[in-house]
């Protein structure tokens, strides 16, 4: 790789264009190709970043690119087939969340990585949020004592046009459900802290949008470590995002990370571990014109991927960890309790 990692980015929509921007800004990274079925998106990116080889067919991209890594930023349902095809061409993969729609697909992706000796890496940029790092430190230090409960709220607004103007959002086959899109980051963090989800039950409903998937849900969870969890999610919140929060109740401490996208410490009371006074909360959300997503720490993910590949480290989230979120989502959807009308 000669001190430089070459990236090819497939899917140049909302998040793909952010990948282009952060790869372009990273000194040890370069963009070797772009791919999207919509030529206009490719044209607007090359107008901004200069000439880059562009493809409207993923197969052609794979035949022609010298990239070391293929960044997969297409709708969820395409993640697995594209990742497997890229791995079979000897490319490392950086796939957007959710890694896949089923654990079976995730297993096939991991197997393709192993067979071809390439890495299957998954974007989990919220792990780099400042408040998340502080909570991780508090939990790892043992200062929280035994953890009892975790309460997670993802209460957001997604207007009708968000679904209506997309050819994949709200569709069962390509999006799967709101847990894959809005909640997978939150599940990843809870699993990172408290272990796999080992028990789940849920109720879901489609209440305010004309879509094939749910827009409201609640779930009760049990994590491997015995921590009890409650999860509420909605894309039906009036007017704008209200809250994206995780509250942790421990023997010797209570922490609430909140704001709209896990960017603030709302409450911190941990025995012999006061919240440091000099913390700067710098996380910013991703803006997509008329709606707002979670944190935009993609630059940190790209830095990690570059360092992992250049220095043979394994700090980026890889397939086996990405799979845990998919397993939890499958379990939550599989164990629905009926809603009494």
Ligand X SMILES: NC(=O)c1ccc[n+]([C@@H]2O[C@H](COP(=O)([O-])OP(=O)(O)OC[C@H]3O[C@@H](n4cnc5c(N)ncnc54)[C@H](O)[C@@H]3O)[C@@H](O)[C@H]2O)c1
Binding region for ligand X (CB under 6 A): 10-16, 35-38, 41, 58, 73-76, 78, 96-97, 123, 125, 166, 181, 286, 293-294
The residue (of 138 and 329) whose beta carbon lies closer to ligand X is 329
Which residue in the shown chain puts its C-beta closest to ligand X? Answer: 13
Phi, psi of 337 (to 5 degrees): -95, 140
CA dist., res. 231 & res. 252, Å (int) = 23
CA angle 123, 127, 131 (to 5 degrees): 150
Cα dist from 268 to 77, 138, 251, 260, 295, whole Å:
39, 10, 13, 17, 21
Q: How far is the CB of 138 from ligand X (least distance, A)?
A: 24
How near is the Cβ of 37 to ligand X at its closest, in Å?
4
Closest CB 268 distance from ligand X, rounded Å: 25
Cβ–Cβ under 8 Å, residues 300 and 128? yes
Q: Is 14 or 230 the residue whose CB approaches ligand X more closely?
A: 14
Nearer to ligand X, 38 or 224 (CB): 38
| 267 phi, psi to nearest 5 deg | -155, 135
Minimum CB distance to ligand X, residue 72 (Å) = 8
Query: Whole-number minimum distance, CB 16 to ligand X, in Å?
Result: 6
C-beta of 95 vs 112, nearer to ligand X? 95
Closest CB 79 distance from ligand X, rounded Å = 6
Specify the 3-state DSSP secondary structure of 11. Answer: coil
Going by C-beta distance under 8 Å and a sequence separation of 6 or more, which residues neighbour residue 279?
130, 134, 265
For residues 248 and 131, the answer to whether their CB atoms sit within 8 Å is: no
Q: Which SS3 state, helix, strand or coil, does residue 244 take?
A: strand
Cross-strand pairs, 246: 152, 257
Helix or strand (DSSP H, E) at 94: strand 92-95
Give the β-pairing of 69-72 and 92-95.
parallel
Kindly tell me which of 181 and 216 has the beta carbon lying closer to ligand X: 181
The CB-of-61 to ligand X minimum distance in angstroms stands at: 8
Q: How far is the CB of 294 from ligand X (least distance, A)?
A: 5
Alpha helices by DSSP H, the chain = 14-25, 39-49, 58-64, 79-88, 103-116, 130-140, 160-164, 172-175, 178, 184-194, 298-311, 319-334
What angle do the packed helices 79-88 and 103-116 form, to 10 degrees?
10
Q: Which is nearer to ligand X, 176 or 250 (CB)?
A: 176
Taking the complex as a whole, the smallest distance from the CB of residue 44 to ligand X amounts, in Å, to: 11
Nearer to ligand X, 4 or 64 (CB): 64
Partners of residue 127 on adjacent β-strands: none
CB nearer to ligand X: pick between 29 and 262: 262
Residue (6 or 298) nearer to ligand X, CB: 298
């Amino acid at each position: 790789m000669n001190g430089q990692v070459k990236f090819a980015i497939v899917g140049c929509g909302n998040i793909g264009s952010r990948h282009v921007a952060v790869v372009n800004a990273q000194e040890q990274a370069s963009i070797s190709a772009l791919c999207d079925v919509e030529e206009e998106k490719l044209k607007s990116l090359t107008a901004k970043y200069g000439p880059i080889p562009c493809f409207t067919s993923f197969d052609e991209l794979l035949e022609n690119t010298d990239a070391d890594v293929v960044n997969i930023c297409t709708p969820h349902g395409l993640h697995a087939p594209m990742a497997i095809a890229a791995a079979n061409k000897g490319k490392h993969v950086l796939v957007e969340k959710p890694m896949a729609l089923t654990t079976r697909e995730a297993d096939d992706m991991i197997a393709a990585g192993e067979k071809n000796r390439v890495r299957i890496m998954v974007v989990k940029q919220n792990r780099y949020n400042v408040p998340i790092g502080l909570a991780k430190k508090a939990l790892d230090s043992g200062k929280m004592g035994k953890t009892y409960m975790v309460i997670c709220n993802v209460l957001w607004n997604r207007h009708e046009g968000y679904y209506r103007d997309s050819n994949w959002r709200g569709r069962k086959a390509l999006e799967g459900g709101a847990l894959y899109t809005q909640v997978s980051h939150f599940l990843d963090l809870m699993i990172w802290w408290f272990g796999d989800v080992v028990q789940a039950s849920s109720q879901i409903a489609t209440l305010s949008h004309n879509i094939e998937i749910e827009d409201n849900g609640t779930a009760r969870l049990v994590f491997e470590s015995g921590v009890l969890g409650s999860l509420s999610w909605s894309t039906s919140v009036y007017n704008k995002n209200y809250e994206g929060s995780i509250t942790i109740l421990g023997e010797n401490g209570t922490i609430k990370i909140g704001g709209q996208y896990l960017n603030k410490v709302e409450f911190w009371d941990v025995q012999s571990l006061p919240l440091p006074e000099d913390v700067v909360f710098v996380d910013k959300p991703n803006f997509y014109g008329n709606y707002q997503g979670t944190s935009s720490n993609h630059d940190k993910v790209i830095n990690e991927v570059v360092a992992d590949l250049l220095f043979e480290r394994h700090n980026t989230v890889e397939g086996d960890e990405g799979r845990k979120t998919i397993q939890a989502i499958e379990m939550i959807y599989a164990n629905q309790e009926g809603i009494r009308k």
